[in-house]
Structure 1
Amino acid sequence: MGEVFSTTVRRVADGALSVGGCDVRDLAGAYGTPLYIVDEEDLRGRARAFREGFGAAFGRYGAEVDVYYASKALLSSKIARWMFEDDMCMDVASGGELEIALRGGMPPERIGLHGNNKSDAELRRALEAGVGRIIVDSMTEIETLNAIALELDLVAPVMVRITTGVHAGGHEYIATAHEDQKFGLSLASGAAFEALLECHDAAGLRLNGIHTHIGSQILSLDAFQESAERMLGLRAAFAADTGIWLDEVDLGGGFAIRYTPDDEELAPHRAAAGVADAVAAAVDKVGGPWPRFSIEPGRAIAGPAGMTLYRVGVVKHVALEDGGARQYVAVDGGMSDHMRTITYGASYTATVASRVSEAEPARSRVVGKHCESGDIVVKDVELPSDTSRGDLLAVPATGAYGRTMSNNYNALLRPAVVSVRDGEADVHIRRDTLEDLLSWDVAP
Structure 2
Amino acid sequence: MFPQNVFPDTAEINQQGQLIIGGCNTLELAEEYGTPVYIFDEATLRNRCRSFVNEFRKLYPATQVLYASKAYINPALAKIFHEEGLGLDVVSGGELAVAQYAGFPLEKVYFHGNNKTPHELTEAVEQGIGRVVVDSFHELDLLNQIAADAGKVQDILIRVSPGIDPHTHVYTTTGIIDSKFGFSIQTGDAAKAIRQALAKSNLKLKGLHFHLGSPIFELDPYRAATELVLKFAAGFREEGLEMTEFSPGGGFAIAYTHDQEPPAVAEYAETIVSTLQSTCAELGMELPTLLIEPGRSIIGPAGVALYRVGAIKDIPGVRKYVSVDGGMGDNIRPALYQATYEVVSAGKANQESVEKVTIAGKYCESGDVLASDIMLPTAESGDIIAIPASGAYCPSMASNYNLNPRPPMVLVKDGKSRVIRRRESYQDLMLCDIT
The bucket for the TM-score relative to the shorter chain is: over 0.9
Q: CA deviation at 1:380?
A: 2.9
- Pick from 224, 227, 230 the counterpart of residue 225 of structure 2: 227
Provide the C-alpha distance between the structure 1 equivalents of 2:305 and 2:104, rounded to a whole number of angstroms.
Answer: 27
Per-residue CA deviation, residues 362-389 of structure 1 (Å, 9 max, x unaligned), is 11111101111110111231011x2111
Counterpart residue type for residue 196 of structure 2: E
Provide the C-alpha distance between the structure 2 equivalents of 1:250 and 1:360, rounded to a whole number of angstroms.
Answer: 45
Q: Which runs of 5+ in 2 are unaligned?
A: none
1:98 corresponding residue in structure 2:
96
- Pick from 21, 39, 42 the counterpart of residue 41 of structure 2: 39
Q: Which runs of 5+ in 1 are unaligned?
A: none
Q: CA deviation at 1:428?
A: 1.3
- The question of 1:336 aligning with 2:334 is answered no
Per-residue CA deviation, residues 262-295 of structure 1 (Å, 9 max, x unaligned), is 1122221221122211222322333321111111
1:289 corresponding residue in structure 2:
286
1:275 corresponding residue in structure 2:
272
- The question of 1:251 aligning with 2:251 is answered no
Per-residue CA deviation, residues 307-359 of structure 1 (Å, 9 max, x unaligned), is 10000001122234xxxx53211000110001100000011110110235756
- Pick from 78, 81, 84 the counterpart of residue 80 of structure 1: 78
Provide the C-alpha distance between the structure 2 equivalents of 1:412 and 1:344, rounded to a whole number of angstroms.
Answer: 22
Provide the C-alpha distance between the structure 2 equivalents of 1:127 and 1:140, rounded to a whole number of angstroms.
Answer: 17
Provide the C-alpha distance between the structure 2 equivalents of 1:356 and 1:316, rounded to a whole number of angstroms.
Answer: 22
- The question of 1:423 aligning with 2:420 is answered no
Q: Secondary structure at the match of 2:194?
A: helix
Provide the C-alpha distance between the structure 2 equivalents of 1:237 and 1:356, rounded to a whole number of angstroms.
Answer: 58
Q: Secondary structure at the match of 1:90?
A: strand
Counterpart residue type for residue 6 of structure 1: P
Q: CA deviation at 1:215?
A: 1.4
- Pick from 406, 416, 437 the counterpart of residue 429 of structure 2: 437
1:48 corresponding residue in structure 2:
50
Q: Secondary structure at the match of 2:387?
A: strand
Q: Secondary structure at the match of 1:234?
A: helix
Counterpart residue type for residue 177 of structure 1: G
Number of matched pairs: 433
2:373 corresponding residue in structure 1:
380
CA contact (8 A) 1:364 1:381 kept: yes
Per-residue CA deviation, residues 48-76 of structure 1 (Å, 9 max, x unaligned), is 100111001224xxxx1111111111101
Provide the C-alpha distance between the structure 2 equivalents of 1:144 and 1:121, rounded to a whole number of angstroms.
Answer: 11
1:360–1:167 CA distance, 2 compared to 1 (3 A): closer
1:29–1:255 CA distance, 2 compared to 1 (3 A): same
Q: Secondary structure at the match of 1:379?
A: strand
Q: Secondary structure at the match of 1:195?
A: helix
Q: Secondary structure at the match of 1:168?
A: coil
CA contact (8 A) 2:13 2:350 kept: no
2:364 corresponding residue in structure 1:
371
Counterpart residue type for residue 342 of structure 2: T
Work out the percentage of aligned pairs sharing the same amino acid.
39
2:132 corresponding residue in structure 1:
134
1:277–1:442 CA distance, 2 compared to 1 (3 A): same
Q: Secondary structure at the match of 2:196?
A: helix
Provide the C-alpha distance between the structure 2 equivalents of 1:425 and 1:189, rounded to a whole number of angstroms.
Answer: 52
Counterpart residue type for residue 254 of structure 1: G
Counterpart residue type for residue 251 of structure 1: P
Provide the C-alpha distance between the structure 2 equivalents of 1:179 and 1:360, rounded to a whole number of angstroms.
Answer: 46
Provide the C-alpha distance between the structure 2 equivalents of 1:180 and 1:106, rounded to a whole number of angstroms.
Answer: 35
Provide the C-alpha distance between the structure 1 equivalents of 2:210 and 2:10, rounded to a whole number of angstroms.
Answer: 35
Per-residue CA deviation, residues 5-49 of structure 1 (Å, 9 max, x unaligned), is 111111123221111111112211221110011011001110110
CA contact (8 A) 1:224 1:279 kept: no
1:380–1:70 CA distance, 2 compared to 1 (3 A): farther
Per-residue CA deviation, residues 377-424 of structure 1 (Å, 9 max, x unaligned), is 11231011x211100000000000110000011111100111100111
Say what the alpha-carbon RMSD is for the aligned residues: 1.4
CA contact (8 A) 2:19 2:349 kept: no
CA contact (8 A) 1:169 1:218 kept: yes
Provide the C-alpha distance between the structure 2 equivalents of 1:380 and 1:348, rounded to a whole number of angstroms.
Answer: 11
Q: CA deviation at 1:222?
A: 1.1
Counterpart residue type for residue 397 of structure 2: M
Counterpart residue type for residue 102 of structure 1: Q
1:10 corresponding residue in structure 2:
12
CA contact (8 A) 2:312 2:320 kept: yes
